[in-house]
Structure 1
Amino acid sequence: MTDEPADGPLRTADVARETGYSVQQVRDLERLGVLPPAPRSGNGYRSYAPVHVHALRAYRGLAGAVGPVAARQLLPELRTATLAEAASAVGAVHVRLARERDEALRAQQALRAISAEADVPGCERETDAMTITELAAALGVRPSTLRFWEQEGLVSPERVTSLRARRYGPQAIGAARIVAALRGSGHGIPAVREIMGSLHRIDGLEETRRILQRRLDRIAARTVALLLAGADLAAVVTSAEETTATREGRRRS
């Protein structure tokens, strides 16, 4: 459980101590909009409140889940969103992580099929061919990305109709899933090309297995970071909701 921050007003040093950031980092993150602006006291010093501590803790978890750039963009949006909008935005991050995990698992399944030169017993099989649009949607990429992978020799359609429409069979779909997982784990095109070319070697299969497992481990760590940030995210969202309600009440009175 996350410790409840001390009641405000808090100094910059207090916020730094509560969150594990340095005093300069607290100031920098306020400047970047991660924190709501802190009011100044009569002597000019910043005066923070518990919501600033919650915001920094939430930022740490979000940064671990989606990266610092996306976290810096999302957190200010949560502070100005309605409760329903904020809940939807956080839910979307969970969905994104779940989809990445699902794709990595499917890539593992495809790799096992390649390793055995047959489908893995008990696992779902891709029996139907897919169009480029269908495969792109399944992978969460654009059709142009699949065309680029084709140009780079990473994935090739198993049939191109007379109208130049691409059809991807089970083997091509499996290869595309592995490429998508490798690209998602940060591998560049040359590295992916080398890995895909080595899949029929024992050492190539083992290295790809390790890469995909590391990908799954990293997704799990990101998911845990998001879960740990849950209480602080809720505090940030509800604080914004209470502030909005107070302002509305003042307008009506």
Structure 2
Amino acid sequence: MGEPVSGSPRVLLRTVDVARESGYSVQQVRDLERLRVIPPAPRSSNGYRSYTPIHVHALRAYRGLAGAVGPVAARQMLTELRTETIAEAASAINAVHVRLARERDEALRAQQALGAIQAEANTPEFEHESDAMTITELAGALGVRPSTLRFWEQEGLVIPERVTSLRARRYGLSAIRAARIVAALRGTGYSIPAVREIMGSLHQLDGLGETRRILRQRLDQIATRTVALLRAGADLEAVVMSAQEPTIAG
């Protein structure tokens, strides 16, 4: 979290002061004001902008939010926080924490799935008819809709066998394993093209190792985003509290 900004919310600051306190350049401060990351600064009698400590808090909060959810979402969230009640603002900030926690849990589940798949891959495979699954059974096991499996099939991610007489889909062990990986990666937030690339790498040497590396990288990114949000905590609090006194925010 940033160091406390000296002075009361009524203290007037120059652009250069705000830049020094927030860690942005003078031009960045002006640009972020134009983008409404911070409220418009009133002009003093000599025509210069007059900022307050709240503007510094907003800029610091933006830095943390941008690291956690991206600059576009951070700009929108800060604009909303300046007009919401304490309860609404707290709910919005908590939702970001929940989202990051969910992404982390999904990445960990993907890692666990890959570990189980690797263990199975090292076991001699003797596939029996009873090992196969119908599309309904596999969808239920993965917690997805049958239509999702059909979509993955269209995208070339999970290719089932077929019972020719009824054209019913039948998934053997290799297809089931592929479906588990796809489900884990999609649950972690990977796009279809990214999943296709990862699935292609599994057929190469050390494909599982590369996929595991990608998931470790994903976890590191989530941790960095979480820390950025935590560092913004005190500044977010200042922004939220300033919304209860509109005259302070300018």
Partner of 1:100: 103
Cα offset for 1:171? 3.5
**Matched ranges for 1:168-179 at <5 A:** 171=177, 174-179=180-185
CA distances 1:64-115 after superposition (whole Å, capped 9, x unpaired) = 0001111111110111111111000001111111111111111111111111
Q: Which residue of 1 aligns with 2:201?
A: 198
> Are positions 1:135 and 2:135 aligned together?
no
Residues of 2 paired with 1:58 and 1:2: CA distance?
Answer: 9
| Cα deviation, residue 195, structure 1 | 2.2
Matched residue type, 1:180: R
Offset at residue 37 of structure 1 (A): 1.1
Q: Which amino acid aligns with 1:6?
A: S
1:32 to 24, 35, 45: 35
Matches within 5 A, 1:83-232: 83-117=86-120, 129-131=138-140, 134-135=143-144, 148-155=151-158, 171=177, 174-180=180-186, 184=190, 189=193, 191-199=194-202, 202-232=205-235
Structure 2 vs 1, CA of residues 22 and 244 (structure 1 numbering), >3 Å: closer, same or farther?
A: closer
Q: Structure 1 residues 208 and 133 mapped into 2: Cα distance closer, same or farther (>3 Å)?
A: closer
Check conservation: 2:182, 2:195, Cα contact below 8 A: no
Which residue matches 2:54? 51
8 Å CA contact 1:58, 1:233 repeated in 2: yes
What SS does structure 1 have at the residue aligned with 2:152? helix
- Residue 80 of structure 2 aligns with an amino acid whose one-letter code is E
Q: Which amino acid aligns with 2:6?
A: A
Q: 1:245 to 1:232 in 2, by over 3 A?
A: closer
Letter in 2 for 1:229: A
Task: Report the alpha carbon displacement of residue 21 of structure 1 after superposing the two structures with TM.
Answer: 0.5
**Map of 1:2 onto structure 2:** 2
Change (3 A) 1:33 1:109: same
- Shift in CA distance, 156/178, structure 1 to aligned 2, threshold 3 Å: farther
Aligned-partner Cα distance in 1 for 2:176–2:211: 19
Please, which of 58, 64, 67 is the counterpart of residue 67 of structure 2? Answer: 64
Alignment check: 8 A CA contact 1:101 1:216 kept: yes
Matched residue count: 229
**Equivalent position SS for 2:243:** helix
- What fraction of aligned residue pairs are identical, expressed as a percent? 69
Q: 1:233 & 1:225 partners in 2: Cα distance? A: 12
Alpha-carbon distance between aligned partners in 2 of 1:66 and 1:147, rounded to the nearest angstrom: 32
Aligned CA distance change for structure 1 residues 156 and 104 (closer, same or farther; 3 Å): farther
Q: For each residue in 1:14-34, what CA deviation from the matched residue of structure 2 results, as whole angstroms up to 9, or x when unmatched?
A: 000001101111011111110
Q: List alignment gaps of at least 5 residues for structure 2.
A: 123-136
Gaps of 5+ in 1: 120-127, 137-142, 247-253
Higher relative contact order (CA 8 A, sep 6+): 2
The structure number with the bigger radius of gyration is: 2
What is the SS of the residue equivalent to 2:183?
A: helix
CA 1:71/1:199 → structure 2, altered by over 3 Å: closer, same or farther? Answer: same
Q: Does the 8 A contact of 2:103 with 2:188 survive in 1?
A: no
Aligned CA distance change for structure 1 residues 194 and 245 (closer, same or farther; 3 Å): closer
Distance 1:245 1:195, change over 3 A: closer
CA contact (8 A) 1:55 1:236 kept: yes
- Letter in structure 1 aligned against 2:33: E
In structure 2, relative to structure 1, the CA distance for the partners of 1:146 and 1:63 (3 Å cut) is: farther
Shift of 1:170: 6.3
Q: Let me know the Cα RMSD of the aligned residues.
A: 3.6
The residue number in structure 2 matching 1:79 is 82
